[in-house]
Amino acid sequence: MSKIACIGECMIELRERADGRLDRAFGGDTLNTAVYLARLGVAVDYVTALGDDSWSDAMQAAWAGEGVGIGMVRRIAGRLPGLYIIRTDPSGERSFLYWRDSAAARMLFDGTEGAAVAARLAAYSVFYLSGVTLSIYGDAARVRLLEALTRAREGGSRVVFDTNFRPRGWPDPEVARALYRRMFALSDIVLASVDDLRPLFGDAGESELAAHAAGAERVLKLATPCVRVATLGAEITVAAMAVARVIDTTAAGDSFAAAYLAARLAGHGPEASARAGHRLAGAVVGHAGAIIPADAMPARENFT
């Protein structure tokens, strides 16, 4: 069985209500995907760093309760998780405010302990990470991570990259463009969107993806609710099903990624996998928050 390492950051999530009160939860793009993968029956570990505080304890316990492996969580004394606030407008679209500059996750690959974390990645057969993942590390840590992924891929592992681009995480756009091009070339599956590619590459976004990820399976979310999946020698467009009511679009892309990967790992083709992704994302946007209640999950047999 394939075991996925989801690499990234989980933060404390504060959701602002209409009356100004805040609800607390935990979230982060790759963590959301890890939880949905676990719910779909996929073996997955979350690879990150946390502090030695009570909120970090609660995060780790919550992940374990969801079936996400926590054996690759590095705990760093004196550090805390990052924090963000979500504001949602009447149409369900959200905006974010972040406090994360000194978060423990940024130190995951630093020092001798960070080198040990990178070495242990060789045990995994599939890796999932995002543009947000890359944005939180310093230059040396990125080099260490990319070298570990390259070695693992040379040994037969697969790399899945979600473009998930947040401009505020990239003070130097040229650094971002160079890293994205390298990840395109390193990946076996790229989950991209026109909304991510445009601020990075302008009108050349799709051609940059095609050129640098020529050998990868490319799943491109278009401006309309559909995806275009390109594999070697074939290209299909798969439209999303209509959603009765959109409450909150948080984690729509993260859940799509989880269901798409779960279906692909189970042997389904790109079209069926894209439909599975749409199905889960459609359920997720009908609820507030990144992680919907477990009893709101569509039946697992619809994905694998």
Question: Model pTM?
Answer: 0.94
- pLDDT value for 302: 61
53 is known as an active-site residue: no
Mean pLDDT computed over 12-31: 88
3-state secondary structure of 83: strand
Closest CA to 247 of 96, 92, 95, 94: 92
- pLDDT value for 303: 59
Active-site hit among 29, 45, 162, 254: 254
The beta-carbon contacts of 61-64 under 8 Å, at least 24 apart in sequence, are: 62/26, 63/10, 63/31, 63/34, 63/35
CB of 114 within 8 A of CB of 144? yes
Q: Domain 3-302 is classified in which CATH homologous superfamily? A: Ribokinase (3.40.1190.20)
Mean pLDDT computed over 248-268: 94
Query: Does 1 have pLDDT greater than 60?
Result: no
Query: Does 119 have pLDDT greater than 80?
Result: yes
Confidence class for position 87, pLDDT limits 50, 70, 90: confident
- pLDDT value for 92: 63
Top pLDDT among 233 and 74 is at 74
CB of 284 within 8 A of CB of 296? no
N- to C-terminal Cα separation, the chain:
14
